[in-house]
């Protein structure tokens, strides 16, 4: 188990456009990567696509828009987005605050885009992202010209405020390798995420506090904590007195 608070993550600057806080690095997992992505206010981010990974965004602060495949969605705290591989997408900030979201990457294969770490990836693409932002054209990335036609569409769904545990946000049948489930627990409630040998899971604490147990390991968590649960491991969630809201992201390793 890896348990890390967002205050402990590695900070990466992307050509002055946005800042990424690495929470779970690709070097620590089989096919998963997680970070907090923060876009500066008043910025139209670069339109771009990722042929080698699917992405999920969970907005945690600010307001704006997320454009996926030409379809524009409003973005506010509690909104969850699915971005299929090879689909051009863009984030646009609105207002005076930064637009921030949890960024969950599910790689399609073990090459992980050919980059050893999140920092390595950023160092190799940041100039392209700067050009894309200046031109507002995804075609600044030459690798997109050969991408296959996307087979999936983007998706937006709001997190449930209540309603019990295990609310499906994204079903694996809708994706190539990822899924997402919300766990809004009332005060002192308990839930068990069953072990699954086909996927590794990442839990992000959206609000509240409580404890997580993975195998014999236990951690006290609160808002901003991220926990990586290895394949085949069960996880027990126990909410504190004020409740605990967790989102579980699954990356399907064995299909």
From the centroid of its chain, how far is CA 116?
Answer: 19
Beta-carbon-side half-sphere exposure of residue 111 (alpha carbons within 13 Å)? 6
Enumerate domains of the chain plus CATH numbers. 2-155 (2.60.120.10), 160-252 (2.60.120.10)
For residue 121, give the H/E element and its range: helix 118-135
Give the C-alpha separation, 21 to 234, whole Å: 27
Distances (CA, A) of 240 to 98, 236, 246, 252: 30, 13, 12, 30
pTM: predicted TM-score of the whole model, two decimal places = 0.93
Query: b vs e for 85-120, b when ≥16 Cβ sit within 10 Å of the residue's Cβ?
Result: bbbbbbbbbeeeebbbbbbbbbbbeeebbebebbbb
Q: pLDDT tens digits, the chain, 255 residues: what are they? A: 999 999 999 999 998 899 999 999 999 999 999 999 999 999 899 999 999 999 999 999 999 999 999 899 999 999 999 999 999 999 999 999 999 999 999 999 999 999 999 999 999 999 999 898 899 888 766 665 555 666 789 999 999 977 667 999 999 999 999 999 999 999 999 999 999 999 999 999 999 999 999 989 999 999 999 999 999 999 999 999 999 999 999 999 998
């Amino acid at each position: 188990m890896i348990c890390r608070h967002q205050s402990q993550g590695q900070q990466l600057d992307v050509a002055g456009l946005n800042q990424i806080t690495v929470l779970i690095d690709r070097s620590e997992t089989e096919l998963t990567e997680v970070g907090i992505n923060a876009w500066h206010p008043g910025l139209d981010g670069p339109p771009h696509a990722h042929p080698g990974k699917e992405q999920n965004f969970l907005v945690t602060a600010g307001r704006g828009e997320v454009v996926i495949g030409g379809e524009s969605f409003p973005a506010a705290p509690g909104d969850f987005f699915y971005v299929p591989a090879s689909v051009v997408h863009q984030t646009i900030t609105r207002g005076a605050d930064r637009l921030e979201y949890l960024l969950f990457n599910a790689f399609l294969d073990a090459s992980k885009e050919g980059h050893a770490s999140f920092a390595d990836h950023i160092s190799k693409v940041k100039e392209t992202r700067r050009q894309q932002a200046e031109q507002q054209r995804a075609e600044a990335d030459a690798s997109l010209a050969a991408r296959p036609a996307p087979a999936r569409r983007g998706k937006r769904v709001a997190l449930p405020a209540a309603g019990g545990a295990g609310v499906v946000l994204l079903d694996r049948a809708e994706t190539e390798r990822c899924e997402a489930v919300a766990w809004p627990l009332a005060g002192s409630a308990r839930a068990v995420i069953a072990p699954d040998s086909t996927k590794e899971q990442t839990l992000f604490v959206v609000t509240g506090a409580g404890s997580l147990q993975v195998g014999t390991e236990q951690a006290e968590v609160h808002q901003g904590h991220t926990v990586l649960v290895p394949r085949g491991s069960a996880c027990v969630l126990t909410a504190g007195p004020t409740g605990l809201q967790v989102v579980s992201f699954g990356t399907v390793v064995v299909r």
